[in-house]
Structure 1
Amino acid sequence: MTTNALPPVVDADTWQRQLEELRTREKAATRELDAIAAQRRRLPMVEMPDYTLEGEDGPVRLVDVFDGMRQLIVYNHMWSPGEEWQCSGCTGFTSQFTRLQFLDNYDARFVIVTQGPLDEALAYKRRVGNKMTWYSTANSPFGTDVGAPPGEGFAVNVFLRDGDTVYRTWHTSGRGTEQLSHTFALIDLLPYGRQEEWQDSPDGWPQSPAYSRWPTSKDIATLYGPNPA
């Protein structure tokens, strides 16, 4: 016997019928996401100034952050000056991306830009075991101009390069980043889901305050850092 809440137990035919009913909604959502992506491909774009960021090898123009590719995804990582552990959401989100070479086939690159001073940012990257390439916009208005000013939120921005001219094509923040995360995609498949209080779950399902099950930045460093547990 268990005291945990459980889904109802039914026969296989009933289960299959209800799964097929859900599948109808899942397929509709997939088609809607396809339509959204089609609209995204038709968005206009805006030309960007010639920003200079800071990279591991020194100052680098935004156009050179593309590293020869035509398309660029930038994750603007939150930064709190003087803090040992930075935003756990940003740290957890970016820790997922350890193998990005597949983007080469799509003429694209994915990097992190943060408001933190470069030496501190790179030290933090190493501490938490992050594998992405990091740049700093601490001495540039770039972060502010793309929705991630100092001391404020995170963002995802997408850019397109035409020769030496860079254009901004898309932006999101908040829960708009969830589709880029495989963690939520996996967790949402589970019977109990994210187990957060805001979610619509059956009575008795385990629920906790939002974010309380997320790993801390220190947890991530323990799991993925230079000396993982």
Structure 2
Amino acid sequence: MTTGTPNRPMPGTTPGLPPETDAQTWREALDDLRRREKAATRELDAIAAQRRRLPMVRMPDYTLIGAEGPVRLADVFKGRAQLITYHHMWTDGQEWQCGGCTGFTSQFTRLEFLDNYDARFVVVTNGPIEEALAYKEKVGNTMEWYSSAQSPFGADVDAPPGGGFGVNVFLRDGDTVFRTWHTNGRGTEQLSHTFALIDLLPWGRQEEWQDSPDGWPKRPTYSGWLDSPDIARMYGGR
């Protein structure tokens, strides 16, 4: 995959132009859309309220491997009460790991705000910690990484070796850890600012599956995403 300045069409030849209208008609159309946007916001508030009422599951006393060696899951919290983990897809010995996971986790460069919410957000992978830390450096990832290679933790939280990615949330009460929430697939999009920004654009993601007007730019799904070598070229080695 290549990156850089895209080819821009000549003036007056841009494909997929929305119909032009006067300011009042545009305002009325925007107000109509805004009603749906506000309804979606209220629904997301209701979903979050339901999430806060979910029961939780007590977890075994797992041991992960961090940069400084073995660490209990309860100690991954580093004194906080809440923990979010992103399980990064992994294939041992592979030069470039999952591009989607690599791009997704590269977004999170300023996580100190979670301190005010008694929480942390870390990466966990089923790969060996030495490989994981070398890859983290290679692609310029700034999050803290842990390995579950010597533990059933990954499989138990729906991200087994050879399986997919996933987000999990945990709550700590002393040395006891509880699992409170999980998602994978497109459920992780709510954590991403990249899709939120792209979806604001008139052409959206420009992917084949999108419901767009005739004439809008289209390309194969994922083809616009940055791949792992792109991330390394932009951010690696820092």
Aligned to 2:6: none
How far residue 49 of structure 1 moved from its aligned partner, in angstroms, is: 0.1
Structure 1 unmatched ranges of 5 or more: none
Alpha-carbon distance in structure 1 between the residues aligned to 2:118 and 2:137: 27
SS at 2:196's partner residue? helix
Q: Which runs of 4+ in 1 moved over 2 A?
A: none
Aligned to 1:198: 209
SS at 1:86's partner residue? coil
What is the identity percentage for the equivalent residue pairs of Structure 1 and Structure 2?
A: 76
Q: Could you tell me which of 120, 130, 146 is aligned with 1:135?
A: 146
Aligned to 1:32: 43
Does residue 165 (structure 1) correspond to residue 176 (structure 2)? The answer is yes
SS at 1:81's partner residue? coil
Q: What amino acid maps onto 1:43 in structure 2?
A: L
Q: How does the TM-score come out when normalised to structure 2?
A: 0.94
**Superposition pairs of residues 51-200 of structure 1, within 5 angstroms:** 51-200=62-211
How far residue 67 of structure 1 moved from its aligned partner, in angstroms, is: 0.3
Question: Does structure 1 conserve the Cα–Cα contact (< 8 Å) formed by 2:93 and 2:131?
Answer: no
Superposed CA deviations along residues 127-158 of structure 1, whole A, max 9, x for unmatched, are 00000000000000000100000011000000
How far residue 2 of structure 1 moved from its aligned partner, in angstroms, is: 1.2
Aligned to 1:213: 224
SS at 2:146's partner residue? strand
Structure 2 unmatched ranges of 5 or more: 1-11
How far residue 81 of structure 1 moved from its aligned partner, in angstroms, is: 1.6
SS at 2:49's partner residue? helix
Q: How does the TM-score come out when normalised to structure 1?
A: 0.98
Superposed CA deviations along residues 156-205 of structure 1, whole A, max 9, x for unmatched, are 00000001100000000000000000000000000000000000000000
Q: What amino acid maps onto 1:28 in structure 2?
A: A
How far residue 46 of structure 1 moved from its aligned partner, in angstroms, is: 0.3
Q: What amino acid maps onto 1:158 in structure 2?
A: V
How far residue 82 of structure 1 moved from its aligned partner, in angstroms, is: 1.7
Aligned to 2:32: 21
How far residue 105 of structure 1 moved from its aligned partner, in angstroms, is: 0.2
Superposed CA deviations along residues 58-87 of structure 1, whole A, max 9, x for unmatched, are 100000000000000000000012210000
User: Between Structure 1 and Structure 2, how many residues are aligned?
Assistant: 227
Superposed CA deviations along residues 35-60 of structure 1, whole A, max 9, x for unmatched, are 00000000000000000000011100
Aligned to 1:5: 16
RMSD: 0.6
Q: What amino acid maps onto 1:98 in structure 2?
A: T
SS at 2:131's partner residue? helix
SS at 2:84's partner residue? strand
